[in-house]
Amino acid sequence: MKKGVTTRERIITKSAELFNTYGYHGCSLSDIMEATKLKKGGIYNHFKNKDEIAVEAFDYNYDRVFRRFRKVLAEATTPLEKLYKVVDAYVSFADDPVVKGGGCPIFNTAMDATNSHPQLKRKARLGIEGLLTYIGIKLKDGIKEGVFRTDINVDEVAGLMIMTLEGALVMSQVNDSKEFVDIASRFVKDYIKNNLVQETEITNT
């Protein structure tokens, strides 16, 4: 942990790793106590219960996901480059996970909480909506600049990209192989080039 990190921040950081690795029900208060080197009272000085910790941990991981996107997209200048970099950001989740446990913590939470934790399910749903909006903005910018076709369905394309790449992350985790992410990356980039980009742009690239 970095010097100057508060006890509350330490609890959130360690819990974010535990929840992403083991899920809400697989992570106990005892696990959090062991990871933070705090007693129960030390944790409850900052949080009411495990639910509150889980929500804060999700927000922490959500922020880390979008910081990764911003970092990977920082040097991209054209709409096409930015959309390709979105794909690269997903690949980076396999190469260099944003949080211990790997994968995308937004979707990890969604799968873990859908049938068991309504509050976390809602947070995950909002997180997925955030991803859809983020990619949708890149697509709309490309349409405005004449790079992408005007007749594409932005919501459908954003959803397709996320479903393909998130599914590939899950497959890679289950099989301990990055191959599925690499295949999905190539597929999505080919789809972008062959189905979204204006013909004049393909000619010029």
C-beta separation of 13 from 1 below 8 A = yes
Calculate helix-pair angle for 50-73, 79-95, nearest 10 degrees. 130
Q: Quick check: 100 and 20 in contact, CB under 8 A?
A: yes
Q: Considering the domain boundaries, does residue 17 fall inside one?
A: no
Task: For 175-186, write each residue's pLDDT tens digit.
Answer: 999 999 999 999
In a domain? residue 157: yes
Q: What is the pLDDT of residues 96-113, one digit of tens each?
A: 999 999 999 999 999 998
Tally of domains within the chain: 1
What's the whole-number average pLDDT of the chain? 93
Q: Does residue 65 lie within any of the structural domains?
A: yes
pLDDT at 5: 67
Computed over its alpha carbons, how large is the radius of gyration of the chain?
Answer: 19
Residue 143, domain extent: 58-204
Distance of alpha carbon 166 from alpha carbon 111, whole angstroms: 11
Q: What per-residue confidence (pLDDT) applies to 114?
A: 85
CATH number of the domain within which 140 lies = 1.10.357.10
Residue for token pair 């880390």: 64
pLDDT digits 0-9 by tens, 132-163: 999 999 999 999 999 999 999 999 999 999 99
> What's the pTM?
0.89
Q: Give the pLDDT confidence of 33-64 residue by residue, as tens digits.
A: 999 999 999 999 999 999 999 999 999 999 99
